[in-house]
Amino acid sequence: MNIISGNEEDTRSIAKIYLEAFPESVDFFYGGDTGERVIGIMDFGFRILWAAGCTFFVAKDSSGNPLGYCIVASDDGDLNKAILRRGLALKVVREFLAGKINIRLTEILKLAVNGLVMAVASLALSKRTSFGRIMSIAVLKSARGQGLGRSLLRHALLHLVDEGVHAVRLEVRPENTAAYELYKTEGFSEIGATRDLQGRWVAMEKHLLKG
């Protein structure tokens, strides 16, 4: 197993891992569709994160097959600004209107409302204005139980330290006890809770540098 810095060419593989790792979200937003249509939607979404400046780490086996990934942003606030500054939000609209993203209007509305609900819920958290964020981390079922998630997380944390980031945040479902315990043992602590249309998230933070 080897963990490397990923690039835009890895987004499709990452999309497939996401669809396997988070079936509840896939079912909620896309009616359980894991076919080419939804793979294309997820692929496009991850390409937007890449273009906005997120760093991708990908775990691969000896044959080069992706086993897991971790996506991290060095500055959560700057990420949101980059999406607007680089015209990525407009790109999404143009691609949709041109029929290049095969996403249904009902799915767009549900995703938009979901993002708004979570953004409002996040306002109640501590007022730290600058922090890194673990955007998404997942491992294929066939590769679990080997410490791969921990290795991916540690690669992301080392990257943030190198970037001079003082703190990093993430959210985890309370019922995802394996992930929660991983984050606790890696030094994350609870700072509150947020919500989206699917329910509650536990918000966690880890201090990396003084400041």
Q: Is residue 179 part of a domain?
A: no
- Give the side-chain half-sphere CA count within 13 A for 114: 14
Radius of gyration, alpha carbons of the chain: 17
| Number of structural domains the chain divides into | 1
Check if the beta carbon of residue 138 is closer than 8 Å to that of residue 178.
no
Q: Does residue 122 sit within a domain?
A: yes
Single-letter amino acid code for the residue at 153: L
Asked if residue 91 is part of any domain, the answer here is yes
Boundaries of domain holding 125: 2-166
211 residues of the chain, pLDDT tens digit each: 799 899 889 999 999 999 999 999 999 999 989 899 999 999 999 999 999 999 999 999 999 999 999 999 999 888 877 777 777 777 777 887 787 789 998 998 999 899 889 888 887 786 777 899 999 999 999 999 999 999 999 999 999 999 999 999 999 999 999 999 999 999 999 999 999 999 999 999 999 987 5
The CATH number of the domain where 85 resides is what?
3.40.630.30
- The answer as to whether 67 is a domain residue is yes
pLDDT value, residue 167:
95
Q: Which of 29, 27, 4 is nearest to 14 (CA)?
A: 4
Distance between first and last Cα of the chain: 35
pLDDT at 209: 81
**Does some domain include residue 76?**
yes
CA distance 28 to 107: 9
- Which of 43, 112, 49 lies closest to 86 in space, CA to CA? 49
Q: Does residue 205 form part of some domain?
A: no
Structural tokens at position 131: 């922090």
**203: in domain:** no
Taking each continuous run of H as one helix and of E as one strand, the counts in the chain are 8, 7
Q: What is the pLDDT of residue 211?
A: 58
